[in-house]
């Protein structure tokens, strides 16, 4: 009997002071303490029933506007177990070969793709062609070319494509974004983003170039990369980058262990970021302006996120999982055409992929890569 890992490997190789609620805007506060407003429920098929899908599925039990109505996996045992746990009938359980048949299933509105990076491109396009909206985990694809093809396929099908940027709905993140937009930090001068952890199992898909498409930058560094863009509020015009590799056995050719990268923005703001599979105690965002600063540490973990500004601590806590908030907000985007404060659409995913391409190019050439 095939395992999910065997199937993924096969597919991958073929695909190659107290600062409290007073500062929060209404949007941030509602995301923190309340379920989404009443409205139609987004019926979601989860694709790829691994570790993160488990977290999403459990969190969705606290979602007011999204529910699991379909399952897609290469492991029959998981389909049976998850089907029983989440009350998904056999007719709404699919494998990777036959999931195109979801086009005939009126109980599924959207597919949430939570598989290794190299599989996203094909699976997103197939889901859109099957007439379903798509939510795709980040990075959306392996490169900007793939990302643009995914966006085009969803547009052609008349379906929305969203990316799993859960931090775009996180209340402290939104509050700092609001402060910067309102001018409370003054003119922004500098951003620092640190993202990384010590990778364990050397056999996992994250260090398989055919499945991951890269290394730490693709997996964890994208938080700092994406974060610098929405925290600064501009798009970079140049990047430089350097790679450090201390374990070439674990991190083979094409799988980056640690990359430091720098970005420049039109206004003169600079950003310095670190992405690593060999360091813990990172996960920090720091935004500095001429009137004040804002810091998150941890900045992108599953919570609780903690922060402070020049006004004092951001003393805010949430009793809702980030993924529950994300799914409620994405249901509103798909079903109600709600516009999020920070974009989560396919075009946003492509912007990150353009920068990832440029960073890898900068590592190889040793020079500055101009953008735009």
Phi, psi of 12 (to 5 degrees): -65, -45
Confirm if 53 and 88 have CB atoms less than 8 A apart: no
Contact 263, 235 (CB under 8 A): no
- State yes or no: is 138 an active-site residue: yes
Give which of 31, 257, 52 is closest to 136, Cα–Cα: 52
Terminal CA-CA length for the chain = 49
Question: Cβ(196)–Cβ(335) under 8 Å?
Answer: no
Catalytic, out of 223, 230, 277, 360? 223
Q: Which of 138, 159, 165, 277 is catalytic?
A: 138
250 counts as catalytic: no
What gap in Å lies between CA 41 and CA 47, rounded to an integer?
19
H/E stretch holding 120? helix 117-129
**Residue 249 near residue 170 (C-beta atoms within 8 A):** no
Phi and psi torsions of 167, nearest 5°: -70, -15
Active centre residues (catalytic): 138, 223
């Amino acid at each position: 009997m095939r395992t999910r890992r065997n199937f993924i490997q096969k597919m991958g190789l073929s695909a190659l002071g107290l600062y409290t609620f007073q500062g929060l805007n209404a949007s941030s506060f509602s995301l923190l303490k309340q379920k989404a407003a009443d409205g139609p429920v987004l019926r979601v098929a989860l694709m790829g029933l691994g570790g993160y899908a488990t977290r999403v599925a459990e969190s969705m039990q606290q979602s007011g506007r999204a529910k699991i109505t379909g399952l897609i996996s290469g492991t029959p045992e998981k389909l049976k177990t998850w089907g029983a746990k989440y009350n998904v009938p056999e007719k709404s359980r699919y494998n990777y070969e036959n999931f195109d048949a979801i086009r005939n299933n009126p109980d599924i509105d959207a597919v949430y793709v939570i598989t290794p990076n190299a599989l996203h491109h094909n699976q997103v396009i197939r889901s859109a062609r099957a007439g379903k909206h798509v939510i795709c985990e980040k990075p959306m694809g392996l490169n900007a070319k793939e990302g643009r093809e995914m966006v085009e396929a969803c547009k052609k099908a008349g379906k929305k494509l969203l990316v799993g940027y859960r931090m775009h709905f996180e209340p402290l993140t939104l509050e700092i974004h609001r402060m910067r937009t309102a001018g409370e930090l003054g003119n922004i001068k500098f951003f620092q983003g640190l993202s990384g952890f010590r990778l364990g199992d050397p056999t996992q898909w994250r260090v398989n170039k055919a499945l991951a498409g890269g290394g730490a930058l693709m997996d964890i560094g994208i938080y700092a990369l994406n974060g610098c863009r929405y925290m600064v509020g501009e798009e970079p015009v140049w990047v430089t980058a350097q790679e450090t590799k201390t374990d070439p056995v674990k991190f083979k050719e094409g799988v980056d262990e640690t990359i430091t990268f720098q970005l420049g923005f039109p206004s003169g703001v600079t950003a310095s970021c670190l992405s690593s599979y060999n360091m813990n105690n990172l996960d920090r965002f720091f935004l500095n302006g001429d009137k004040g600063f804002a810091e998150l540490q941890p900045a992108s973990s599953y919570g609780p996120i903690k922060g402070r500004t020049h006004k004092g601590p951001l003393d805010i806590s949430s009793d809702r999982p980030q993924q529950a908030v994300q799914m409620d907000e994405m249901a509103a985007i798909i079903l109600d055409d709600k516009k999020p404060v920070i974009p989560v659409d396919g075009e946003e995913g492509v912007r990150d992929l353009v920068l990832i391409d440029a960073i890898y190019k900068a590592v190889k050439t040793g020079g500055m890569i101009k953008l735009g």
